[in-house]
Chains A and B, each alone.
Chain A
Amino acid sequence: MSEATFVRLLDEDSKFIETLSKQKKTTKSAIIKELVHKSIKKEKLESALDRYADGEITIREGATLSDLSYRQFLNELGKKGLLGGTAADQDEMIKETLDYLG
């Protein structure tokens, strides 16, 4: 169910929405709805990436929070250089790997 919300826009934003609605031959309301939706989606992803980077959530939880699949979120982590850990982590993991599997 959609909810009606009254928002006062900045003049420049209002003019842009007017222009875009003419270009796309659609209503200003549809344009605003689309822009808000896109922005929320982006915000959800950024928030999930930040929380992952801070060690609060797992990759799977990040995927769920950003409405992406596991693989899509994994790709986003790559873009931010967040795949893997730190050099100190790597030292420890190499040692554990050799101790157990070596």
Chain B
Amino acid sequence: MVKRGIVLDNSSSVFLAKLGLIKTLADMFSLITTEDIKKETEEGAKEGYRDANIRISFMQEGKIKVQKAESVSNIIKEHQLNKADASILSLAQETGYILATEDRQVRHISKLLKIKNTNTVALIYLLYKRKKLSKEQSFALLDLLDKWSYNKEMLLKAKQVMQNE
């Protein structure tokens, strides 16, 4: 069976790495990103962010594959975006994979391009539904996101959905 895939933007992979979810997701799905995101991650590692080192290790092990996006220049031209933003949108469009991002504007443009969207909270919910996380574990991870200043409204929504099941 062909694995479904997730294109990782820097914003989501920061949180997924901090929450220790990359390996679980990599076992279930193909995780891919672009060379531009790899460069940003390396910059993050130089700035001293430990999650960036974790993500670099996953890239080196091939658990997060770094792929070239082909139609970056078209997206830059059509949506006046910078290269890294255009690269993840282009990769998601070319592969048909879902795009994981916490960036509101990237999400908005992805909708225009008919690219499917996810984020850290939705992926926690998915892992809960697939019984990879218990309700207690999921709530604990959502609480950590709260501690890291993630949007409270979104966290509350996810908790409500889980609570009502």
Interfacial residues, chain A to chain B (CB-CB below 8 A): 52, 55-61, 64, 69-72, 74, 78-79, 81-87, 89-94, 96-102
Contact = CB atoms under 8 A, between A and B. Distances in A.
Given A57-B105, A69-B43, A84-B121, A96 B116 contact: yes
Contacts of B103: 58-60
Contacts of B123: 97
Contact of A52 (B82, B104, B155, B161): B104
Nearest to B161: A94
A87 B130 contact: no
B125 A94 contact: yes
Contacts, number: 130
Contact of A81 (B43, B151, B158): B151
Interface string B140-156: 00000000111111111
Interface of B: 4, 6, 10-11, 14, 28-29, 40, 43-44, 47, 49, 52, 81-82, 84-85, 98, 102-108, 116-119, 121-123, 125-126, 129-130, 148-158, 161
A64 to B, nearest CB: 7
Contact of B108 (A55, A64, A93, A96): A55
B27 to A, nearest CB: 13
B82 A58 contact: yes
